[in-house]
Structure 1
Amino acid sequence: MFIKPLSIIMPCFALLLSHQYATAGPMGFSGSAMTMGDFNNNWRETFINYAITPRDAFGVSATYMRADDKSKTRTLEEVTYTRLLNRWNMPHAQANLWFMGGLGMLQGEDKRAGNDLSFDKIMVTPGAQFDYETTRVYFAATHRFYRASDINHDYSAVRAGFSFYETEYDKTQPWFILEARHMNGLSDKIEITPMLRFINKNFFVEAGVNNSREPRFNFMYIF
């Protein structure tokens, strides 16, 4: 007598999971646009992309980077491409491997012995992200090359978290996220930030304070 209820519940549960997973990756579903932002004192990034297929998205982004000692600043505007390389569907979880890359113009300023050096260079930013998520746990590892002539600002990040409780798709779900990241050539230390994340349908917001006591705010919206 349990067969009929289960035949109804399981597809609905799978649909709920698919909506939750839409928030995990750097692109949405086919025909959707996604915008994301990441802001603190030394790193500010915004981008928007459009998914032309279930696996491919093109977009534009703008990134501001500054060294911890404020001796270097970088501004990058680029055209981006995102590709879902592989997806592993499990009964109650999903994992993804992504390619993310861009090509753009870098404007930089270095302060050396009281002299300011300004430059413009072409920068390429290929990288990859792996993420794993259920309705209760989340993990992601990202590495992205930020390369221009004589410049290496490679970016690495690992984040993990858990939800406080499960909710329905149309209700807000709170998460705790802990992230460690590093930008080569701009910081000598690893930035660690505990954050609270709130997911509701097609958006999330995150807010926290890093180990340098600087506030951080992130958002994502799919439309």
Structure 2
Amino acid sequence: MINCIIVDDEDHAIEVIQHYLKSVAAIQITATFTNPIDALSFLSSNPVDLIFLDIHMPEISGIDFIQTMNNKDVQVILTTAYKEFATAGFDLDVVDYLVKPIPLPRFLQAINKAQKIINTKKVHPPVKHQDDDYFMVKTEAKGKMLKINIAEIDFIEGMKNYIAFHHNGIRTLALLTMKDVEERLPKAQFIRVQKSFIVALNKITSIDGNRIILKGISAEILIGETYRKDFLDMMKQKLLL
């Protein structure tokens, strides 16, 4: 069973999602909130797999809500009447972005995506070694798990429901999300620089404006606006004045 909460400052919007979820037996509504502050408090002490989250709310925005959450494992489906927030939402690795009024077929499409991600994480979590020098991942080949040496990772690329490890001159696809990997990598060694890329700090050879150049890699990676400040702050710590 997937536990979910609904966060929206409009009661009618909550009622629509509640009505739609009556036809989805695998998802249980744990609570609903019109105040996002109350929802954050609830998340701190209650297990939740999925959040239906409005973006435009008076107390804090849905984007701020995601950035404030302590539990980064929870999946988020954004709901809003404002299409212009879509880019910011996907920069935060949400499952989907639904524009109100939400058609039922589009809602069910988002539900299917969320169920696949959540169920995959529950059944096939990545196995991490105690010494933190490698971990095992389930690859796209059925029944095959592969060892990834953390020291050999150059960068990690998000590809819809898969991620690609670029390591030791090869690319390995794994059925994971960017959040799965980001939470398990040593924070002192890796940093997320945009929605679809995490880079190894020791593989960075130069930064040219908005471009990151990695050692031995011909491709250039651009810094996403959402992640730019954190990345530059970390680089400044290494700067010799």
TM beyond 0.5: no
Higher strand share: 1
Relative contact order higher in (CA < 8 Å, ≥ 6 apart):
1
TM-score by length of 2: 0.24
TM-score by length of 1: 0.25
